[in-house]
Structure 1
């Protein structure tokens, strides 16, 4: 399946930090091997392959290819679902792709007239990214953009015994925006209890998601619920209570979306945007994204919706005052990011039992191959889970 690694590297021993923890920055980067191409055969597979090629700008699709591994993002998912509806008359929930992300499995769902496994897709924002048994689930919180698609590859890399759920921003479902992050966290805590009535609770998140996850852990603890791992993936805090102006916020959204898609943007002269009102600035930002190929056909309003969710979240971050949390917290930073930043000093004060880890990549590439494997190893270690070794016994990692 898509979780089986394509490259194995044998090491004489695991590299450790001076305090005996796994040093993911010293793990060698895997060299991808060529996998066998399996051509689509059924009419549905062939049509879907052509659709994926057009959406993702890829020349060749194998039936075993994973939509998210090929670079599919949440906007691509929306566009794909629309094309399946128009071509095959089958209405899929967008989250069906998390359960059936390979070409052959998605084609089978379409051939069954949309009879997909939609467990957890009740419209409440809680998404099952990876169904599994064996370990307590990990709940990941959306970043500023609101979508949880950025976690799709990570969820499938944490092992076939690790269930992973994620919480989307309700604003993406046109729900009423909740600006206060503490109130948002309380809503998300209630969602988690619907899936897991009793702790310990494992929570985490990337970027803004890490900030919300810490508040959720604090609320669980306040209620007397046991909390397990709290995993913060390169989060950021704000020391300025005043949100940035519209131009700065919309520029951040543009660069955030480009970073997620690994796209380089053309330069824009800020002087051409001076004096524009909010609506005009939104249109200018959409034009920049459209020119970069980041606004799929027919989804300009969808991108605008995500832009507004992003700006709401940025404003909420600037007014949020995180509280001290005395439980264990794992803070995962990137090798290409700021080392020893003032942020980390603040996190240490907020979380006295902070365990700081470093993984390869930057804020965006940490979630993608080739850096994904190191991130998954660090997250699994934070969860207290052994790192799986394909084809052999599972070694125990040093205690955290």
Structure 2
């Protein structure tokens, strides 16, 4: 996992009791990559890992705070004198060391978190996504909670209330004010707390914005986050037929939350093209766009012949790991695939949803064929996925003719289809927080 760990190590060695620090990515309790810091005490000092971790939390944004701190007696070195990463000891994770549950609902939520994530203990203030959970794990939690409490717990509640104390309060109050009933709603609240201008995240090709839930939890606090999802997923309206039509639809959704700028927009893959068109439309109406961030939106893709359309089974097999089905059979029908997903994840998916997702995925190629983006009067932040060469060759530079302002490119050592995977999210959140102007991040830089 590539992340700007230098500032983490600088913060640690800035503590008078720490002589040396190195931060690396290691598998966390749920298997996802997390940050682990290894430290040497200064001469005559004794280090308490928990205290060191608390001190870094005071100095760094949440996504840069290590999940564990390990005190070393000495730094393991290779024969040529370099750090021997393989010899670093296994970390001990202290998730759940915070407050214990106080009510039956909090106990049920804590138990569901622990069961789904494979943790021995969870505290009521622990964020589900900080513990390594992802959007598919979230559906499992809500399915377990619904069965345990005899009620329906929409997954969108966990997206926007990711700690046991917050989720339990939401469940007890039956608080759905401002929340859609369905996780397939066009505007999906991922984080509603905060007084800052919201970040709006446009879906990739299949139309779902659930993929941004982990990112929303990792971004610095104070800024609400909303996903924008394809309008036809619920089957209540037709899908827009052009990128411009998607943009007009989403401008309406954005303005329903935030009537005026400055606006903050993000889009991944196809969503990058739509986010760019949204930004251009907003600027045409005189609004300020403070951030336009595109995640590996490759302009070359618009000039490539459309591939053969996928069946539902083929799409589920292609996206299997992100749908919780690593070994899905490409021959599955929509009904069979939906039943399999419900069984494995508890996600409220039916055959109609999968049919519409497949249509959206297949239709993305025709949306981009020959597409020429409008001119956007503003700056552009681009994130390039470097581990998948077929997806990044023409991404960043090709946007030059369609952007009047400064262009910033950030390299992320991940494949195109895994840009919001748990191991990539810390680095992605760091990039976005820098351009969002988060004061705590800038203070630590």
Q: TM-score range by the shorter chain?
A: 0.7 to 0.9
CA offset at residue 295 of structure 1?
6.3
Of residues 304-313 and 69-78 in structure 1, the stretch that sits farther from structure 2 once superposed is: 69-78
Determine the C-alpha separation between the residues in 2 that align with 1:92 and 1:288.
Answer: 19
Q: Within 5 Å, which residues of 2 pair with 1:320-399? A: 320-338=371-389, 341-351=393-403, 353-388=406-441, 394-395=443-444
Q: Which has the higher strand share?
A: 2
Partners of 1:319 and 1:286 in 2: CA distance: 36
2:266/2:272 contact within 8 Å kept: yes
Q: How does 1:201-216 map to 2 (within 5 A)?
A: 201-216=263-278
Query: Contact (CA 8 Å) 1:253, 1:310: kept in 2 or not?
Result: no
Instruction: Structure 1 unaligned segments of length 5 or more: list them.
Output: 1-7, 14-25, 274-280
Q: Which residue of 1 aligns with 2:149?
A: 88
Partner residue, 1:105: 166
Q: Deviations over 1:217-258 (max 9, x none)?
A: 111122222222100112234234753222389645532342
Q: How many angstroms does 1:98 deviate by? A: 2.0
Question: Which residue matches 2:180?
Answer: 121
Length, aligned pairs only: 357
Superposed CA deviations along residues 250-285 of structure 1, whole A, max 9, x for unmatched, are: 645532342465x6447x7xxxx8xxxxxxx66189
C-alpha deviations, 1:163-209, integer Å up to 9, x for none?
Answer: 22221222232232223221011010111112211122111112221
Q: Matched residues in 1 for 2:146 and 2:342: separation?
A: 27
Q: Which runs of 5+ in 2 are unaligned?
A: 1-6, 13-21, 26-34, 37-66, 69-92
TM-score, normalised to structure 2, is 0.66
Greater displacement, 130-139 / 220-229: 130-139
Indicate the residue corresponding to 2:89 in structure 1. Answer: none
Verify: 1:10 aligned to 2:15, yes or no. no
> Contact 1:360 / 1:366 at 8 angstroms: preserved in 2?
no
Query: RMSD across aligned C-alpha pairs, in angstroms?
Result: 3.9
Within 2, Cα distance between the matches of 1:328 and 1:248? 39
**Cα–Cα, structure 1 residues 196 and 63, in superposed 2: closer, same or farther, change >3 Å?**
same
Task: Between 136-145 and 74-83, report the one with greater CA deviation.
Answer: 74-83
Larger relative contact order, structure 1 or 2 (CA cutoff 8 Å, min sep 6): 1
Q: Which whole-Å deviations, capped at 9, do the CAs of 1:50-76 have from their partners, x for residues lacking one?
A: 55566x473645244544456655566
1:258 aligns with 2:308: no
Cα distance in structure 2, aligned partners of 1:382 and 1:329: 10
Q: Deviations over 1:125-173 (max 9, x none)?
A: 2233223445322211112222222111211222122222221222232
1:311 maps to 362
Distance 2:225 2:132 in 1: 20
Q: Matches of 2:231 and 2:414 in 1, distance apart? A: 30
When residues 40 and 315 of structure 1 are mapped into structure 2, their CA distance, relative to the original with a 3 A threshold, is farther
Structure 1 residue ranges, 4+ long, deviating more than 6 angstroms after superposition: none
Rg: which structure is higher? 2
Deviation of residue 291 (structure 1)?
Answer: 9.4
Q: 1:250 to 1:309 in 2, by over 3 A?
A: farther
- Separation in 2, partners of 1:77, 1:153: 10
Structure 2 counterparts to residues 214-229 of structure 1, below 5 A: 214-229=276-291
The answer (yes or no) to whether the contact 1:380–1:387 under 8 Å persists in 2 is no
Structure 2 contact 387–413 (Cα < 8 Å) conserved: yes
Task: Determine if the alignment matches structure 1 residue 62 to structure 2 residue 122.
Answer: yes
TM-score by length of 1: 0.73
